[in-house]
Structure 1
């Protein structure tokens, strides 16, 4: 479990994270969302002890991460797949990490196979594509078989097969009872992968709740209506309190359900050719809810 309690991080006079509190629990994939510059990467770095907090506290399984003597047994993390020595082979890179954390060499081969790089283990990392580097970073995160896993934009550069593989991997890790914390700007992937969301803007908490609850909170249902009598129906809908936008071939209605619209049409003897409900996507809900937080502070990360 990850607990962030009143976290504040300043760089000089600029505040990147401002009194932020949330909990990431085991058994779920928790998505970490926010506009660019919202403070996501700063928060991840503080969790891992790479940056010290200005105020507040962050713990992993009840203690600061720095107190764990061999970190890879407790937390596996991928923050930047490009930050790796290009002259080393994938196998040598993982072997060095394994030795420094008291992990047997056999585990190197196991994680390379798990991420689909078994045949590339002896190749130099400098020749890897971005997608292969992402797989290697995930292998490094899995090396110590940790209960807590953190990933920052892990599917950048991956092909569709790789994206499907990552999605399945994260959900299977959570199903094993691990804590999986995932930052991504790709809402469609988050919608297919995450169970819970932590959403921040300008370094402050906007939401910490199940994904579906967040999407429903930002959802504004729209009903498309096609009728040969648009003016008559639009007047009846407006009188009933609906918001009606008139397009050349249909009405876009908000504020009333399809059932209510159908009943009004029947009561006013209006013929209907189509009545369809459209729900906003997670991306649309995210844009709506975070709209007031997009003008982030200069210097935040």
Structure 2
């Protein structure tokens, strides 16, 4: 479990993280979201003991990670896939990490196989693509078989097969009872992967809840209806408490009634429907609505 309590980080007069509190629970994939400049990376660095907080505390299973002698056994992390010596081979890099944490050499072979880098294990990392470096970083995070895993933008540079693999990996790790905390700016990826969300803006907490409840904060689900006689259908929908907005000559965007009820209403009056498609609440829509006043840098902003 990850626990963050009143965590604060100031750089001179700038407050990057402001009294931030949240909990990340085991057995779940938790997405960490926020606009650029929200303080996500600073929060992760403090959690992992790489930056000292100005105030508050961040712990992993009750421990300050910076004080753990063999931290990879407790928490695995990928913050920057490029933070590897380019002159080392993938195997040498992981072997050094294993030795510093008293891990068996066999574990290096296991994680290389798990991330699909066995065939290039003895190539220098400087010749790796970004996607290969991401896989190596994930291998390093898995090396100590830790109960808690932290990833910052882990799918950057991965091809579609790699993204699909990472998604499955995170779900499997959570199913094993581990705590999986993933920072990402890809809303579509989080919508397919995360169970819970922690959302921050300008260093402060915006939301900490399930993905479903967060997405439901956006505009309600709507149903796109296509019919040859919308002039007759629209008043019937309105009489049943729905709002029907025209979307061209033969289409209505309906809110206030589920698709099944719209279909029943049309059938009961002998009306033909050509399309009945539900548009679910969007994570991206909810994110944009709730963080609109917390964006540090806007397009066209001269700062």
For normalisation by structure 2, the TM-score amounts to 0.89
**CA distance in structure 2 between the aligned counterparts of 1:175 and 1:185, rounded to whole angstroms:** 24
1:171, distance to aligned residue in structure 2 (A): 1.4
SS at match of 2:287: helix
Residue 207 (structure 2) aligns with: 207
- Mapping for residues 53-202 of structure 1, pairs under 5 Å: 53-202=53-202
Structure 1: state its 5+ residue gaps: none
Alpha-carbon contact 1:16-1:38 (below 8 Å) kept: yes
Deviation per CA, 1:220-275, whole angstroms, max 9, x where unpaired? Answer: 211223344434544565576644322223111223334555677689x6834244
Asked if 1:290 corresponds to 2:299, the answer is no
Q: State the SS of the aligned residue for 2:191.
A: helix
What SS does the aligned partner of 2:217 have?
Answer: helix
Secondary structure of the equivalent of 2:104? Answer: coil
Output the CA distance in 2 between the equivalents of 1:90 and 1:295. 37
Partners of 2:297 and 2:9 in 1: CA distance:
15
Counterpart-to-counterpart distance in 1, 2:102 and 2:227: 71
Q: Contact 2:38 / 2:296 at 8 angstroms: preserved in 1? A: no
Q: How many residues align?
A: 296
Root mean square deviation of aligned Cα:
2.3
Q: Trace 1:9-88 onto structure 2 (pairs within 5 A).
A: 9-88=9-88
**2:106, 2:226 → 1: CA distance?**
65
Q: Report the counterpart of residue 254 of structure 1 in structure 2.
A: 255
- How far did 1:285 drift? 3.0
Give the equivalent residue in structure 1 for 2:301.
none
RCO greater where, 1 or 2, for CA within 8 Å and sep 6 or more?
A: 1
